[in-house]
Amino acid sequence: MLTKNSQLDQPHKKSQAARKLLFPAFAVLIVAAVVTSLATANGGDDRSAYAIGLWGDLPYSSTQATVGVPNLIADMNSQKLAFTAHDGDLKSGSSECTDSVYTQALGYFNSLNGAAIFTPGDNDWTDCDRTQGYNSLAQLDKERALFFATRYSLGQKPMKQEVQSTPLCLGVSGQVPCVENRRWTVRGVTYATLNIQGSCNNLCDVAPDPNEYAARNAADIQWMQDTFAEANANHSAAVMFISQADPGFDATDATRGPVRDPKTLAETDGQPDGFQTFLLALRDQVIAFERPVAYVHGDSHYLRIDKPFLNDQGQRLENFTRVETFGDHQENGNNDVHWLKVSVDARTREVFSYQEQIVPANRVAVPAP
């Protein structure tokens, strides 16, 4: 039988017991909140939505250099972008590769509000030997020294990136690191640049260089495979690659890219094939990854977002999207000096969504209202 005092003590004892049970639970919640806060601050668990800007194959004329591109950059700077990426070609293929081409581009990139990413284009180096007195590898060495001297991107808020160190590419003096190949992860999505070039990836045009191609192609394949490995290790929701060349994926558009058998990925137009081995390796990785893969390139100067990649049975790879940015030739003035906005949300099924950004000040055929 309980005494009066023991009856009074019972609620007190229950309260003490409850506190003993609840305190560890509260402690766990507090620790979890702190860990989550720290992880989010470091970008570890933050998968919130953001936007990026894609552009390339610009400028191709003095008008584009002095009017069109500054208008485009101002338009990108007017929007909140996590970073921007230029997929190569800082000038037209027939113009000289003067030092001012590169310093002008550096000024463009460093005028962008956020991090600015760049990957070289064939007009920047591979095609420089069209003009007497220029050497393509010497020009690529210049780009490596100017744009890729540190582990950080360009832009007013440089981003730290992973840099490829092996296998080695070629420069004028022999083997050098492929410092232009970069990788970074933002809020659950892994990105990488690849030095893959038009003009048959340096296997055709005025002075083809099979040795340079072989070294760089091996490095590109390794960097691509390593990127998927890192994306898997980080549980990334998607991967995006950014390069210059339009490698061609099928036989549907001979006017804008190499024509190839979509099942074997062999080029069928008689030109030297600088892309088949890379595409075969890429296809294997895309299939194994299963999640969304975006492949961004320029080169053909025609904005398009499509799904041209097939497996060896002729079935479309549903998780692969080719993204070609705007680009222009000098004969068209400012008519295509625009950019592509990509909304990125790792919490969504397709991760990437795309919106053309027609710069009002660069509209020509139909002026902005």
For residue 346 the two structure tokens come to 């790792």
> Strands, E, within the chain: which ranges?
50-55, 83-86, 115-118, 154-155, 162-163, 169-171, 174-176, 182-186, 189-193, 238-242, 293-297, 304-306, 320-324, 339-344, 352-357
Q: Which of 58-67, 71-80, 240-249 is least confident?
A: 58-67
Average pLDDT of the segment spanning 124-130: 95
Rounded to two decimals, the pTM is: 0.88
Is residue 59, in this structure, part of any structural domain at all? yes
For residue 197 the two structure tokens come to 């070039």
Secondary structure of residue 369 in the 3-state scheme: coil
Chain centroid offset of residue 137 CA = 23
Secondary structure of residue 86 in the 3-state scheme: strand
Is residue 6, in this structure, part of any structural domain at all? no
Question: Which of 323, 292, 320 is CA-nearest to residue 305?
Answer: 323
Sequence-separated (6 or more) residues with CB below 8 Å from residue 298: 56, 57, 87, 88, 89, 121, 244, 246, 324, 325, 327
- Note the pLDDT tens digit of each residue in 340-351: 999 999 999 999
Answer for the pair 120, 143: CB distance below 8 angstroms, yes or no: yes
| pLDDT score for 44 | 57
Question: Does residue 85 surpass a pLDDT of 60?
Answer: yes
Is residue 124, in this structure, part of any structural domain at all? yes
| pLDDT score for 89 | 97
Answer for the pair 140, 120: CB distance below 8 angstroms, yes or no: yes
Question: Which of 168, 163, 138, 134 is CA-nearest to residue 148?
Answer: 163
The CATH code of the domain that includes 271 is 3.60.21.10
Is residue 78, in this structure, part of any structural domain at all? yes
Is residue 30, in this structure, part of any structural domain at all? no
Confidence band of 82 (pLDDT split at 50, 70, 90): very high
- Note the pLDDT tens digit of each residue in 298-346: 999 999 999 999 999 999 999 999 999 999 876 677 789 999 999 999 9
Question: Which of 303, 297, 256, 283 is CA-nearest to residue 122?
Answer: 297
Looking at every residue in the chain, the average pLDDT score rounds to 90
Print the domain residue range for 230. 51-362
Is residue 125, in this structure, part of any structural domain at all? yes
Answer for the pair 309, 316: CB distance below 8 angstroms, yes or no: yes
Amino acid at 47: R
Question: Does residue 2 surpass a pLDDT of 90?
Answer: no
Question: Which of 301, 298, 294 is CA-nearest to residue 255?
Answer: 301
Is residue 168, in this structure, part of any structural domain at all? yes
- Note the pLDDT tens digit of each residue in 178-219: 999 999 999 999 999 999 999 999 999 999 999 999 999 999
Q: Which phi and psi angles does 229 have, rounded to 5°?
A: -60, -40
Confidence band of 26 (pLDDT split at 50, 70, 90): very low
Sequence-separated (6 or more) residues with CB below 8 Å from residue 157: 113, 114, 115
**Number of domains comprising the chain:** 1
Q: Please give the Cα distance from 315 to 261 (Å, whole number).
A: 13
Q: How far is CA 117 from CA 152, 246, 313, 333, in A?
A: 9, 19, 36, 25
Confidence band of 30 (pLDDT split at 50, 70, 90): very low
| pLDDT score for 254 | 86
Taking CA 245 as the corner, what is the angle to CA 244 and CA 247, rounded to the nearest 5 degrees? 150
| DSSP result, 169-196 | EEETTEEE--TT-EEEEETTEEEEE---
Between strands 189-193 and 238-242, the pairing is parallel
Is residue 162, in this structure, part of any structural domain at all? yes
Q: Tell me whether the omega of the peptide bond preceding residue 11 falls within 30 degrees of 0, making it cis.
A: no
| pLDDT score for 94 | 86
| pLDDT score for 228 | 99
